[in-house]
A and B are shown apart, each in its own frame.
Chain A
Amino acid sequence: MLSQIFAQARAAGRSALDEPAAKRVLAAYGIAIPRGTTVAPGVRPALEGLAAPFAVKLISQDASHKSDVGGVRLGLDAAAVAQAVREMEALASGRNLRFEGALVEEMAPAGVELVIGGVIDARFGPVLMLGLGGVFVEIFGDTAFRVCPIERRDAQEMIDELRGAPLLRGARGRKPVDEARIAEALLAVGGAGGLLVGLEHELAELDINPLIVSGQAAVACDARIVLSKR
């Protein structure tokens, strides 16, 4: 099923999976993703069984960084979702981007924004990264890398290695996050049976950004999987 996702994307001439496909891959490896639904162009969003607040995101292979073009709307109630989807369509046509639909998802519980990523290095093979700061990860440069497969001890050491680790542990009266869930997510991506080792030949780069971690959950709110060159 996973190889089919990659095959379809390649057949469509894409260099990366779209967000819903990337999230299906994550889910297959046991990484928590938000509950949600994909809305095809011209279709009314069906929100049965989903709870507000919602996030609405543009799906377009022409917009790899959708927040840069205004393709992300957060904190919407059910009534505002349909309007937001129509606005995405208008936004895409205004910017000459292919409109492939919208992704409507439940918002993750508030928490600390982390990044879990991976690259397939020419020398060392699959390499895993944990970073702090979500979309600001490059600005902070607070990261820890490991060669895959990692073990549980590596996962914990990666968390400890972040300069910003106190933010996860209740600095300044915040609620501490559930570090075990970060470790689980790291193992799901970079462990022996994990995503990077399993899909080493399919992908070139992976960003789970942000992974929002709270006291209850570690949720992959956005994901980007860049295909390997064949």
Chain B
Amino acid sequence: MDCYTTYQPIFRPRVVAVVGASASGGVTPGNEFIRHSRAFGYDGRMVPIHPSAPSVEGLPAAKSFAEVGEMVDFAYIAVGAQHVPGLIAAAAGKVRYAQVMSSGFGEVAEGRALEQQVVEAARTAGVRIIGPNCLGVYSPRGRLSFIGGASPEPGSVGVITQSGGLGVDIILRGQSRGLRYSGLVTLGNSADVGPAELVEYFLADPDTKVIGLYAEDIKDGRAFFRALRTARGAKPVVVLLGGQTSQGRSAAASHTGSLASGAEIWRGLARQTGIALTRTLDEFLDVLLAFQALAPRRDRPTRRCVLFGNGGGTSVLAADAFGSRGLDVTPMPRPAIDALGKLALLPGTSVVNPIDAPAYTLRQEEGRIAERILDIVLQEGKPDAVVMHINLPVFIASTIQGVDVVQNLVDAALRARARHPGQAHFALVLRSDGAEPSERRRRELRDKVVRQGIPVYDEMANAADALAGVAFYERYVAG
């Protein structure tokens, strides 16, 4: 069986069993999983497993996996840790994947033996374990969710996380930024199914365009390396690492041993496989968004960036941020500067790069001036990426109203990009003062613009992180 078919039951199960949902009015994680997935429109068969109740959450219950009467693709298990080994043993031949939410296993010293028991029971039973100590699976296409508030809209970002709680952040904060997921699986302790296997699944999944991984300890590191090495950058992979010390081996008997920290090994592995390493949750989401929205170029890795927007200091700081991430913000070629010079932009506008256009310049022609500027930038400047930034409160709080300059600026960018397809990656930075009018405007614009293939960021430094991640991947696949 190919890898895609093998792991698909995790994300598109036809038959789901839920162990640990209360029939007596209590709300356990099991009840929540049933409720959220039904609200999501799960249309397969969902069977609560309950020792006595005839129904749970209005669904007919079974007393055991055996009583379900057909193969369970995915069992959601949230019961006390001590009951798990027996439950898994009883799942032999009746369950494909069992996700164990329960904690009290390998994450605490006294639970290690129990985790080993679960793993052995699973091997004997032929059941694959996800977890333990995790939160669930989120799959918009499979219509499953372990949390409320998650978007039902399917997307192209596949995520594997060794922390369930961080998985919640990734889903919710990510979707606010415009990310849409093909699936997210929380692996917890990864006692059986590990990140390497699910990376292979997402590599094979036609709905997944970019893969995100939050990793603390990859036990199958060697398989992970092999999978990515074989893939040769077929899809971008963005990694957020937790718990990597910069310390070498404590008992090292060699120079090499004292220098070989986890962080150093990951840095090397990134160079070998093209995975983009990130340092914070925000950077992780920002880079994922860039890969969701943009089409990486194999023939021309991103290097030369043109920055364009209002705010002198913002432009200077932005150039620093891009420069420190290995992206060029150098003056555009002469013909571009000359052509921009002929536009009769108002005094105070600098057209070299960054193009520092004060708000009064951006208001020229009710904002449509931006289209002419960007046309010249794309035509004569031939950049690899263009980042346009708008300081929203300056326009929102202005006494000059009546014309929606911000909308005109954004439309100008969209039209200019459409006239020069494939020339440059486009990113938009909508800067806010944190007050509600700016925040609301940013939310509305972000939602629309990301769908058109332009990632939107809060600050120029975020855009720099995101494009640096894209550039790293592009350099890798360019060879």
A residues in contact (CB < 8 Å) with B = 15-16, 64, 115, 117-119, 121, 123-125, 127, 129, 131, 135, 137-138, 141, 143-147, 150, 153-154, 157, 161, 204-207, 209, 224, 226
- A123 to chain B: which residues have CB within 8 Å? 217-219, 221-222
- A144 to chain B: which residues have CB within 8 Å? 268
**CB distance B256 to A205 under 8 Å?**
yes
**CB distance A146 to B221 under 8 Å?**
no
Among B217, B254, B255, B268, contact of A145 (Cβ-Cβ < 8 Å): B268
In the assembled complex, B28 has its CB within 8 A of some CB on chain A: no
Could you give 24 example pairs across A and B, Cβ below 8 Å? A15-B253, A119-B249, A119-B257, A124-B269, A127-B265, A129-B256, A131-B255, A131-B256, A131-B259, A137-B255, A137-B259, A144-B268, A145-B260, A145-B264, A145-B268, A147-B268, A157-B271, A204-B257, A205-B253, A205-B257, A206-B256, A207-B256, A209-B255, A226-B257
CB contact list, B216-273 vs A, under 8 A:
217-219, 221-222, 225, 249, 252-260, 264-265, 267-269, 271-272
Please give me the residue from chain B that is nearest to A119 by CB atom. B260
Known A-B contacts A145-B268, A146-B272, A154-B271; A121 and B255 likewise in contact (beta carbons under 8 Å): no
- B255 to chain A: which residues have CB within 8 Å? 115, 117, 131, 135, 137-138, 207, 209
Please give me the residue from chain B that is nearest to A148 by CB atom. B225
- B219 to chain A: which residues have CB within 8 Å? 123
**CB distance A205 to B265 under 8 Å?**
no
**CB distance B265 to A121 under 8 Å?**
yes
A157 to B252, CA, bound (A): 26
Please give me the residue from chain B that is nearest to A145 by CB atom. B268
- A117 to chain B: which residues have CB within 8 Å? 254-257, 259-260
- A16 to chain B: which residues have CB within 8 Å? 253
**CB distance A129 to B259 under 8 Å?**
yes
- A137 to chain B: which residues have CB within 8 Å? 255, 259
- B272 to chain A: which residues have CB within 8 Å? 146-147, 150, 154
Among A125, A143, A154, A224, contact of B254 (Cβ-Cβ < 8 Å): A224
Please give me the residue from chain A that is nearest to B259 by CB atom. A143
Over the window 23-36 of chain B, the binary record of Cβ atoms lying under 8 Å from chain A Cβ atoms (1 yes, 0 no) is 00000000000000
List the 9 closest A-B pairs by CB distance, nearest first. A117-B256, A123-B221, A145-B268, A205-B254, A124-B221, A207-B254, A146-B268, A205-B257, A119-B260
**CB distance B265 to A115 under 8 Å?**
no
Q: A144-B268, A204-B257 are in contact. List 9 more A-B contacts (CB 8 A).
A: A117-B259, A118-B256, A123-B219, A124-B222, A125-B222, A137-B255, A146-B272, A147-B268, A205-B254
- B249 to chain A: which residues have CB within 8 Å? 119
Please give me the residue from chain B that is nearest to A154 by CB atom. B272
- B253 to chain A: which residues have CB within 8 Å? 15-16, 64, 204-205, 224, 226
A117 to B253, CA, bound (A): 12
Known A-B contacts A15-B253, A205-B252, A206-B254; A124 and B265 likewise in contact (beta carbons under 8 Å): yes
**CB distance B256 to A115 under 8 Å?**
yes
- A64 to chain B: which residues have CB within 8 Å? 253
A158 to B473, CA, bound (A): 17
**CB distance B265 to A145 under 8 Å?**
yes
**CB distance A119 to B221 under 8 Å?**
no
A144 to B258, CA, bound (A): 14
Of B219, B221, B252, B271, most A-chain CB atoms within 10 Å: B271
Chain B nearest CB, measured from A200 CB (Å): 10
Chain B nearest CB, measured from A115 CB (Å): 6
- A206 to chain B: which residues have CB within 8 Å? 254, 256
Chain B nearest CB, measured from A26 CB (Å): 14
- B221 to chain A: which residues have CB within 8 Å? 121, 123-125
**CB distance B259 to A226 under 8 Å?**
no
Chain A nearest CB, measured from B227 CB (Å): 12
- A129 to chain B: which residues have CB within 8 Å? 256, 259-260
A154 to B221, CA, bound (A): 19
- B479 to chain A: which residues have CB within 8 Å? 153
Of B219, B249, B260, most A-chain CB atoms within 10 Å: B260
Of B221, B249, B254, most A-chain CB atoms within 10 Å: B254
- B260 to chain A: which residues have CB within 8 Å? 117, 119, 121, 127, 129, 145
Known A-B contacts A123-B218, A124-B221; A147 and B269 likewise in contact (beta carbons under 8 Å): yes
Please give me the residue from chain B that is nearest to A149 by CB atom. B229
